[in-house]
Structure 1
Amino acid sequence: MILLLIHASQFSYQVKEKAIEKAEEPEVRELSLENVLVVFTSVEKGDDDSTVEKAKESIMDVVKRVNATSVVIYPYAHLSQNLAEPSIALVMLRKLHERLREIGLNVSRAPFGWYKSFSLTCYGHPLSELSKRITNETEYQKSKELDVCHKFGFPYSPNASFMKAAIIERLKKLLNAKGVIYGNTEDVPEGYLVVNYVRPTGRLLPCVNEDPKLFCNYRGKGDFGLPETFSDSSNTYVLWTRKHENILRIDLGVLLYYFLLQSKKMNTPSLPLWLSPIHVRVLQIKGNPEAWKIGEEIMKRGLRVQVDDIDDSLGNKIRRAGTDWIPFVVIVGEREIKTGTLTVKIRETGEQRPMKLEELVQAVKAGDDLLLPQNVPLSLKEM
């Protein structure tokens, strides 16, 4: 939202003719005021309730500083080349008008969608002409907890790509959405998720402010049971806002960071299975080819699996799997081959126990109802 704020000793307007087909019906066709703060306003794509709240605070601050006795919100499309759809702009302008009335300001709003003549006499003092760009973006500071995003190679690693796809699919399931539409559009069909790509403002940070930023709009009554905001040591993050016309706007990067942060806070940091790029890592001992057979069998059953075929000691392979937060680690040695069972180390509980292949598969599937395909090779050495 872009505001041009003029403190005028005199301001008047008169409604002339429609500028758009669906112009609102004017309640007042002409108005004249003195000592008024005129707020020329362009509503932009992506503006929502948080934008309106920030605009209200900015206007209220200027009113106090210049001691204006009234405010006029004047729709003015010429301030931006990134205008919201007219129906959305009108909703935002009405909300801004109402918010200013609620705090006791004497505020009027010129009708939307009409050509109007106006005359204005600016006071000419240092605060009489101000412009402001209001966005729903928050300037986040770099926090130590964001290292968890670096750990998985955000923003451009294969792990990051997988997690972004997984978070969209998880959201689709939580909201019981009919489907996902990709593309920058204000049109949000009922029951669909629309993923928009937005250029970030401010400092680039992994997950929470990447280029591009990913937002998701959903029109419907779904409630995905997550908090509107959450905090780390440096910031409070806005995860979602409820926009106009029953549209939920979700910051996908912040949502992803929320799950990573919750995972990091566990006694043994562990990703949800649906978010983990790899479910199972099979540790090959002394070049044993049986590890490949087991890895291929696990992959055939729809799980995400890697074989650690790096020429290294078993101890280093176990430590590497721990560093990578691998949920299930399978050790394949002579004993496992002879008994037909797998020795499985389970990250979340810390236990290590024998399991049949099918038992392992069922344990993974019980925690991952998405079962997205992996996007990395079976061989860890090829990463």
Structure 2
Amino acid sequence: MRMLLIHADEFSYEVKSKAIPEPEEPKSFKAFVKNALVAFCTIEKNDEKNPEAIAFKAAENIIDVFNKVKAENIVIYPYAHLSSDLASKEVAIPILENIERKINEEGFKVYRSPFGWYKSFNLNCKGHPLSELSRTITVEKEEGAAEIKTEYAIMDLNGNLHHPLEYNYKPEETDLKALVEKEALKKELIGGKPKFLDYCSKFSIEWEPYSDIGHMRYGPEGGLIFDLISEYAWQVANSLEIPIFSVKGTNMFNVAEPPVKEHAKLFGEKLYEIKVDEKTLILRYAACHQQFAMVKDWIISHKQMPFGTFEVADSYRLEKSGELLLCFRVRKLHMPDLHIYCKDLENAKEISLKIHEKIYEEIRKLGREYVSIYNITKKFFNENKSFLLKLLSIEKKPVLINFVPEGRFYWVINVEYTIIDELNRPREIATFQIDVGNSKRFGIHYIDEKGEKVYPPIIHTALIGTIERYLFTLLDSASKKEAEGLKPSLPLWLSPTQVRLIPINQSYLPEALNLAEKLKSALIRVDIDDREDTVPKKVLLAEKEWIPYILVIGKKEVETGKLTVRVREEEKQKIMLIEDLIAEIKSKTKGYPFKPSTLPMLLSKKPVYKMVK
């Protein structure tokens, strides 16, 4: 930012005509002041990196000169002629407003002419040594987030705290030990290629080589799995029995907006940043920006509290290239982000217990168990120990406590739910936080019973984790099954093809098509291997593709109506009628979403994928 400071006996201006298509609305079209310090201000593009600091420093400089020259008034005058590298109006106007506000807060009389207009002005300079000064306002580049000193302890089911080095683990607490060693004791993890990466190719899930690193793509099978998990995330959110509103919006936000800027500081170098039309935009880290920017414009009464907003939000994080892992640590992720706006902190704790229970219910459906980290301030810990014990009663095991500095974060508790993967490495999947800072930052409030404005605590949660990490959990679980000598598989409701029909030759294709239509009408995903190949090879292919139910159709099946069914989950064959097969599949998928396959029913019509390494 560049400024020309003139101490004038008299200064006046008059608005004439628009200089830009949509200028700032003038508070007044003319002004006349005596004994004024006139600050001609040119806001530059570089100022958008830290607009609040620029405004604060500019105001300090103006006040310093004002006091030295003993002026009576201050005029802030937008002036585009001190630099060729101009900021956009979206950046410039808030900076000028903040300068005006800061000077007002110091008790000085200040005028500000409107931005974006051609104006005439008259000025009589006093002519003393300090009557004509120039200033260049810069701020040092914002430093990266300083290392935060925290303190770890293990909390047992009775609420006792133990030093991580002194805790005596029970035989069943191997997962907790792995978590503590990695997070609290900072032990190096054993490397190795996880088995689940080989599984991804079965479902056309891979990196996109034409994008930035860390961006995934999904073929027809993977896309179906992605859509089903997204729908399930919405279903799980609604099971909390709280009004949840599905919302949608943009993925980029103007860093010149103070709430956006303040929230962005929390994520530092992991933010994607793009330049468009002289603006700096950031790609959202999660759904917070969009949901909060929307809810701030809602008129909310205490009668509507609590309620939630939900979006499967495409989110962007500049993870280090060496740490990227398909389906887990990615640069573009999809967060089923649920925010619940609570009446007060007690209400937030009540709902948090429901959320905690739901998160554990979902992971236990997959036959897995979390070990948790409670990031928490000591003040909240000491004042809410009974609440924490209720959380532990749902976990049924000790947790790792991480005490963080007071006031450093917008939340008072942030729970990270972690599985231990096939390589014995902790992997964070789900989360919830109680946020006590963002409602005021974004201007989100409701009107209570007394007619007063209340800024509500906000719960942030991803009940099943990101879409990618839920998929990671499923594939890692399949890897663990295979390590135990069992056949790896996906849950039936997520299997892209639930039933594969294999006619022994082309003469039985009509009967296979007839059975397929019955299954399809029952909302079961089915295909037919009609290719010219041997039956054993077709069965082997179906096994490699993890098809849950494989049916070979021949003379006996046509004549008797009894089907020989290979059931992957049970690792055996059984004889069933088509009606019994339909009933079994519907029973096993009850309560889960369904989507039809987008692939052709006949395998001969399906292309073969060339997988990208």
Q: Judge same fold: TM > 0.5, yes or no.
A: yes
What SS is found at the alignment partner of 1:144? coil
The CA distance in 2 between the partners of 1:286 and 1:277, in whole Å, is 25
Contact 1:229 1:236 in 2 (8 A): yes
The CA distance in 2 between the partners of 1:290 and 1:241, in whole Å, is 49
**370, 374, 380: which one pairs with 2:597?**
374
Equivalent in the alignment of 2:359: 224
Equivalent in the alignment of 1:212: 332
**TM-aligned CA deviation for residue 303 of structure 1:** 0.5
Q: Can you list the C-alpha shifts for 1:227-271, whole angstroms capped at 9, x where unaligned?
A: 311233274321122232211043221111101211332211121
Q: Can you list the C-alpha shifts for 1:270-316, whole angstroms capped at 9, x where unaligned?
A: 21111111110111211122111111221111100111111111101
Equivalent in the alignment of 2:460: 247
The CA distance in 1 between the partners of 2:426 and 2:339, in whole Å, is 25
Contact 2:531 2:604 in 1 (8 A): yes
**284, 290, 300: which one pairs with 2:511?**
290
1:265 and 2:480 matched: yes
Q: Which moved more, 1:171-180 or 1:333-342?
A: 171-180
1:153 and 2:204 matched: yes
Q: Relative to structure 1, is the Cα distance of residues 168 and 338 closer, same or farther in structure 2, using a 3 angstrom cutoff?
A: same
The one-letter amino acid of 2:496's match is P
What SS is found at the alignment partner of 1:296? helix
Q: Can you list the C-alpha shifts for 1:172-214, whole angstroms capped at 9, x where unaligned?
A: 2333254644443421673343111123423343212345311
Equivalent in the alignment of 1:331: 552
1:175 and 2:232 matched: no
1:1-383 aligned at under 5 Å gives the runs 19=98, 55=145, 58-60=147-149, 143-147=193-197, 148-154=199-205, 155-176=217-238, 178=244, 180-183=246-249, 184=251, 185-186=287-288, 187=291, 190-200=307-317, 201-203=319-321, 204-210=324-330, 212-220=332-340, 221=351, 222=355, 223-225=358-360, 226=363, 227=370, 228-232=417-421, 233=423, 235-243=425-433, 244=435, 245-249=458-462, 250-266=465-481, 267-287=486-506, 288=508, 289-369=510-590, 370-383=593-606
What SS is found at the alignment partner of 1:298? helix
Moved >3 Å (runs of 4+): 16-20, 39-42, 177-185, 188-192
What SS is found at the alignment partner of 1:318? helix
Task: Give percent identity, aligned residues only.
Answer: 25
The CA distance in 1 between the partners of 2:330 and 2:149, in whole Å, is 32
The CA distance in 1 between the partners of 2:605 and 2:325, in whole Å, is 28
**TM-aligned CA deviation for residue 60 of structure 1:** 4.2
What SS is found at the alignment partner of 2:564? strand
Structure 1 vs Structure 2 CA RMSD = 3.5
The one-letter amino acid of 2:193's match is S
Contact 1:163 1:277 in 2 (8 A): yes
Contact 2:233 2:336 in 1 (8 A): no
**TM-aligned CA deviation for residue 320 of structure 1:** 0.7
What SS is found at the alignment partner of 1:191? strand
The CA distance in 2 between the partners of 1:343 and 1:318, in whole Å, is 13
Count of matched residue pairs: 267
The one-letter amino acid of 2:426's match is T
Q: Which has the larger radius of gyration?
A: 2
The one-letter amino acid of 1:191's match is G
Q: Can you list the C-alpha shifts for 1:20-74, whole angstroms capped at 9, x where unaligned?
A: 9xx9xx9xxxxxxxxxxxx9979xxxxxxxxxxx957x1449xxxxxxxxxxxxx
The CA distance in 2 between the partners of 1:357 and 1:192, in whole Å, is 43
The CA distance in 2 between the partners of 1:331 and 1:296, in whole Å, is 16
Q: Which runs of 5+ in 1 are unaligned?
A: 4-12, 27-38, 43-53, 62-140
The CA distance in 1 between the partners of 2:247 and 2:576, in whole Å, is 41
The one-letter amino acid of 1:144's match is P
Equivalent in the alignment of 2:112: none
The CA distance in 2 between the partners of 1:351 and 1:240, in whole Å, is 35
What SS is found at the alignment partner of 2:571? coil
Q: Relative to structure 1, is the Cα distance of residues 59 and 211 closer, same or farther in structure 2, using a 3 angstrom cutoff?
A: closer
The CA distance in 1 between the partners of 2:225 and 2:532, in whole Å, is 28
